[in-house]
Chain A
Amino acid sequence: MRNWQKYIGIILPLLVVAALMLYPTVTGKAAARETAFTILKAIALASSLNILLGYTGYVSFGHIVFFGFGGYVGFYLFSAQGLSLWVCILAGGFSSGLLAFLLGKAILRLRGAYFALATIGVNEAMRAFINNFDLFGGPTGITLNFKAYLAYGGAAKALEMAFYVVGGLAILAIILSYIIRTSKFGLGLLAIRENEDAAEVMGVFAPDAKTWAYVLSAIIPGMIGVLFFFKNGNVEPHDAFPLHASIELLVMVMLGGQGTVLGPILGAFAYQGMRGYLVTSDFFKDIQLSVSGALLLIIVLFIPAGAVGWLRQRFPILRRVLA
């Protein structure tokens, strides 16, 4: 197999991201940048979730908690402590990773549905906690003083910069996903997904492997959270921990095909695209959630492996290519 074919699994996703980043420049519309931003954010989040869900087989219904928690920490440091945005983004990622590490020790020993319920519980508890946490502004959250944007060239320039950063984070997420997928660590995760007990008998240190998968899946969402709240200029508890967003992430991963690098990217792209259309269409606006729900149901009932997964099953040749 020629070299470049081997790498399609990562080249394609990167091309998608590159296309998205060029899209606003090409069309010249500000709205296009908003759309591209949302899709890039979704790609980064979905790829990260995939590490836990697709590779390790642990279904997290509350993954958005890392976006919210890391985002809050980083945003707080930025607005209240005046640290540089870059430091804050890193801090956000680090604190989410730390949260995942501690949480993982507690809940990763749960299997299947119990784990899923626990993740919902964690998200809701975190939201309720932050709601009461005065340091982070309690129910009113934190609002940025617009002067903070001056250090970045003013509000408009800051938004433009944020766009490139989210693109960078999406690329980072894809690269991370690819490295894990093609590594020995990744093989261990896949073994855990297929049969955790058998994997342990073969020598996979499941508890450690799962913890690291959880941590790695949490870092980028944390970083994205900081960036997102920076761009919006404020954060409130219910913005930061929206449960339905977690589920939408799940839909994206499953739509495209969990367990592959390319799958979540296609899924994010398709789902956000569909959502964008629904939200602007008068008829569908209100029942947008219903349409997403119906779509999820169809996927679950008829193509549980998602688009890319289905392709891999039908055309084994593609298996080495579509990592």
Chain B
Amino acid sequence: MTLLLQVQGVTKRFGGLQALTQVTFDLPKGQILGLIGPNGAGKTTLFNTINGVYHPEEGRILFQGKDVTNKMPYHLAKMGMARTHQIVRPLNELSVRENVMVGACFGHENQSLGKAAKIADEVLEFVGISSRTDQLAGSLNVAQKKRLEMARALASHPHLLLLDEVLAGLNPSEIDGMIQMVLDIRAQGITIIMIEHLMKAVMNVSDRIFVLDYGEQIAEGSPNEIANHPKVIEAYLGDPKLAEQLMEDD
């Protein structure tokens, strides 16, 4: 079992605010890791730190065995890491195809424009927005922009994919479609970390779950273990007694 990502003792501070404290976990290749926690727990901050947008004050991050703690996002992209954002960032004045081509051209495969265009068409087909290929990215609706964000990340054929709340704002049928897509992506051999709020979805899709609260990891384990973990319940519901009551009423 090769470890794709190793996060060791990562601490991130913003002035007086401690956003992440001693976060530590390993991620084997091919796994889907669900990252959950209440709002403000530091999930996106953790992504930003893994991705090179932030650099931790303490700790190390190893990607494919190499120390990437202080690397910039573009270095990590060139090593095969890709991510989506919670608030999507389409390249508005470029066409959908061009958006995806950027992912293919500047990812670790460093494709030429011609090859990138072909990959873009394939990936757009996969995520289901190939009818919009020539439209300007800014003209898509939110759900389509989310798929575009996914397509851009996939176009680079990453080793590790960080998904930040890809299900937010989708209706139930769209959610099912997206979940299936995530599973299909894993089937292609891509390792995934998913930030998600939708409990049912993340529990069903993830191999393992990692729980953050106020920047600290409070639990880690299989979905079943996490569902019954008192600390997790307390973090989400605040009062373990109430949680017990709710579970009994079920």
Contact = CB atoms under 8 A, between A and B. Distances in A.
Interface of A: 182-184, 187-188, 190-191, 193-195, 197-206, 259, 313, 316, 319
Contacts of A188: 102, 105-106
Interface string B48-84: 0001010000000000000000001110011000110
B4 interface: no
Interface of A is mostly: helix
B160 interface: no
A191 B72 contact: no
22 contacts: A182-B113, A183-B113, A184-B116, A187-B101, A188-B102, A188-B105, A188-B106, A190-B93, A190-B98, A191-B102, A194-B90, A194-B91, A195-B90, A197-B53, A199-B102, A201-B51, A201-B82, A203-B78, A203-B106, A204-B102, A206-B74, A319-B95
A195 B89 contact: yes
B98 A187 contact: yes
Contact of B113 (A184, A202, A205): A184
Contacts of B51: 201
A84 to B, nearest CB: 39
A205 B78 CA distance: 10
A271 B101 CA distance: 35
Interface string B89-116: 1111111001001110111100011001
Given A187-B105, A203-B106, A316-B134, A198 B91 contact: yes
B85 interface: yes
A184 B135 CA distance: 20
- Most interface-central of B74, B116, B135 (chain A CB within 10 A): B74
B74 A194 contact: no
B102 A201 contact: no
A197 B77 CA distance: 12
A97 to B, nearest CB: 24
B127 to A, nearest CB: 16
Nearest to A204: B106
B12 interface: no
Contacts of A198: 85, 89, 91
